[in-house]
Amino acid sequence: MNNVLEVRDLSKSFKGVHALADVQLDVPEGSIVGVIGPNGAGKTTFFNCITGALRPDAGSVRLFGEDATGLPPHRIAHAGVGRTFQLMKPFGTMTARENVIAAALTKGGSHKTAHKRADDVIEATGMAEWADAVSDSLHTAALKRLELARVLARSPRLLLLDEVLAGLVPSERTPVVELLADLRDSEGLSMVFIEHIMAAVMRLSDSVVVFDRGRVIASGDPEAVVADPTVQEAYLGTEIADA
Ligand SMILES: Nc1ncnc2c1ncn2[C@@H]1O[C@H](COP(=O)(O)OP(=O)(O)OP(=O)(O)O)[C@@H](O)[C@H]1O
């Protein structure tokens, strides 16, 4: 199986703080990798170095078989990487549908194609009921779906998801988790997702990688990783109680 993402020896420091140190990661095509770790472990910095928001100090990032180290964000997006943010910023005065269409248009192609893609994504993400509501009027669970829909509208090959479940109550999480599983199973979409909700990590992940103080302290089979005493000590002992 081809890897859509290969990270080698990735490092990034901020004024002496090693936010990332010699990080390695392979993401096989069509797989979901869960990223866990305590606050400040380097997870967001890791995403930022992949998406071009930050330039790594050392190491390499290969996307879809090509070197992508240090490329600017628009080149990474154009290559087929979609990213959601914890802080969602749709155009507030536009409807959800208009936001999705605007995202689809950035992909290029005709208006007709963009509208069709937006319709498909709205359907797939379960937004149809409120797609014509003004985005400013939407509650958190709807905004999360809209954020996902805007990213999917650009037809990415690799999705980077930053705590898409944060702020959702358990009954709102399940449909999002199942939607992500379906995107992998039916469209073969590859994903890396940062998540604190362990039930979702275990449901979705083909493999899990654990960050602690900028380093990967464990990775591989989800069951084996959560049973690892090092992981229990660094992270899970406290987090499972919160999940
Ligand atoms: N722009 C920045 N300038 C200075 N320090 C930074 C910057 N971004 C991150 N850091 C530091 O790098 C370390 C890793 O932060 P990062 O945000 O990547 O962790 P995280 O695992 O995503 O945490 P969280 O779960 O809280 O989002 C932290 O010590 C953080 O304070």
Query: Which long-range contacts (C-beta less than 8 Å, at least 24 apart) are formed by 170-175?
Result: 172/141, 173/197, 173/200, 175/126
Beta 58-63 vs 66-67: how paired, if at all? antiparallel
With a CB cutoff of 8 Å and minimum separation 6, the contacts of 35 are 43, 46, 192, 193, 194, 195, 208, 209, 211
Q: How far is CA 149 from the centre of its chain?
A: 13
Per the prediction, the chain carries an average pLDDT of: 91
Three-state SS for 96? helix
Please give the structure tokens belonging to residue 146. 């809209």
Q: Is the CB of 144 under 6 A from ligand 1?
A: no
Domains and CATH numbers, the chain: 3-80+156-240 (3.40.50.300), 90-155 (no CATH)
Query: Which long-range contacts (C-beta less than 8 Å, at least 24 apart) are formed by 63-70?
Result: 63/4, 63/5, 63/158, 64/4, 64/157, 64/158, 65/2, 65/3
ipTM summary value: 0.95
Return the amino acid letter for 146. Answer: L
Res 236: pLDDT: 77
Cα–Cα distance measured from residue 106 to residue 114, given in angstroms and rounded to the nearest whole number: 9
Q: What is the 3-state secondary structure (H, E, C) of 146-201?
A: HHHHHHHCCCCCEEEEECCCCCCCHHHHHHHHHHHHHHHHHHCCEEEEECCCHHHH
Cα–Cα distance measured from residue 161 to residue 141, given in angstroms and rounded to the nearest whole number: 15
Q: Whose CA is nearest to atom 25 of ligand 1?
A: 39
Q: What is the 3-state secondary structure (H, E, C) of 36-64?
A: ECCCCCCHHHHHHHHHCCCCCCEEEEEEC
Q: Is the CB of 40 under 6 A from ligand 1?
A: yes
Res 241: pLDDT: 43
Q: Is the CB of 39 under 6 A from ligand 1?
A: yes
Distance 46 CA to ligand 1 centre (A): 9
Q: Is the CB of 43 under 6 A from ligand 1?
A: yes
Res 1: pLDDT: 61
Return the amino acid letter for 222. Answer: P
Cα–Cα distance measured from residue 11 to residue 16, given in angstroms and rounded to the nearest whole number: 12
Distance 213 CA to ligand 1 centre (A): 10
Tell which atom from ligand 1 comes closest to the C-alpha of 37.
21
The residue ranges of the chain whose pLDDT is under 70 are 1, 87-88, 237-243
Q: Whose CA is nearest to atom 24 of ligand 1?
A: 39
Ligand 1 pocket: which of 18, 36, 44, 216 to mutate (most atoms <8 Å of CB)?
44
Q: Is the CB of 196 under 6 A from ligand 1?
A: no
Q: Is the CB of 17 under 6 A from ligand 1?
A: yes
Q: Whose CA is nearest to atom 28 of ligand 1?
A: 40
Three-state SS for 11? strand
Q: Is the CB of 45 under 6 A from ligand 1?
A: yes
